[in-house]
């Protein structure tokens, strides 16, 4: 299953790319109607891919469910029955994507904070253990290298 940090980063990247596509909707070289259909189809295919056996192996059930729900909500806000995507629908979809990105950032901060706490705990436990003879020898070598004796 996907590491929570990797999932959060991948989700943020995906949502950011969809956001950028919505930004380019009316300034792209392709006609807006065609661009709208392509974007809707891509989102629909991503939703369907969440149920594939490969994605089931890559993500946990809650991760897949969150991704599916977010993408389905974005697709719903784009108004799947209309030919082109109007500016209001694109804005509503971007609002949902922003909410999803902020949720993933919060998750990412929680995961990062937890990992930092774990690293601090490991460092602290190392401070309270007795150094081995090898550690002492290594420290002496480092000290001599950092503070060489002056040559007479």
Residue spans per domain, the chain: 4-146
Token digits of residue 24 = 């380019």
Q: Is the pTM of this model over 0.75?
A: no
**pLDDT score of 152 more than 70:** no
Is residue 19 a contact partner of residue 94, using CB atoms and an 8 Å limit?
yes
Is residue 86 a contact partner of residue 8, using CB atoms and an 8 Å limit?
no
Mean pLDDT in residue range 71-94: 87
Distances in whole angstroms, Cα of residue 90 to Cα of each of 36, 37, 45, 53, 61: 10, 13, 19, 31, 28
Residues 145 and 67: their CA atoms lie apart, in Å, by: 54
The tens digit of pLDDT for each residue in 19-30 reads 999 988 877 677
Residues 76 and 13: their CA atoms lie apart, in Å, by: 21
Token digits of residue 75 = 């697709």
Query: What's the first-to-final CA gap in the chain, in angstroms?
Result: 63
């Amino acid at each position: 299953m996907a590491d929570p940090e990797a999932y959060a980063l991948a989700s943020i990247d995906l949502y950011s790319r969809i956001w950028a596509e919505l930004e380019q909707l009316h300034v792209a070289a392709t006609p807006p109607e065609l661009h709208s259909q392509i974007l809707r189809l891509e989102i629909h295919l991503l939703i369907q891919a969440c149920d594939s056996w490969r994605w089931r192996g890559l993500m946990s059930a809650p991760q897949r469910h969150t991704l599916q729900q977010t993408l389905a909500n974005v697709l719903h806000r784009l108004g799947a029955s209309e030919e082109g995507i109007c500016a209001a629908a694109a804005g509503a979809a971007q609002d949902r994507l922003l909410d999803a990105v902020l949720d993933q950032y919060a998750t990412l901060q929680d995961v990062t904070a937890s990992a930092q706490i774990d690293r601090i705990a490991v460092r602290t436990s190392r401070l309270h253990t007795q150094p081995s003879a090898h550690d002492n020898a290594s420290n002496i070598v480092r000290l001599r290298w950092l503070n060489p004796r002056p040559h007479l």
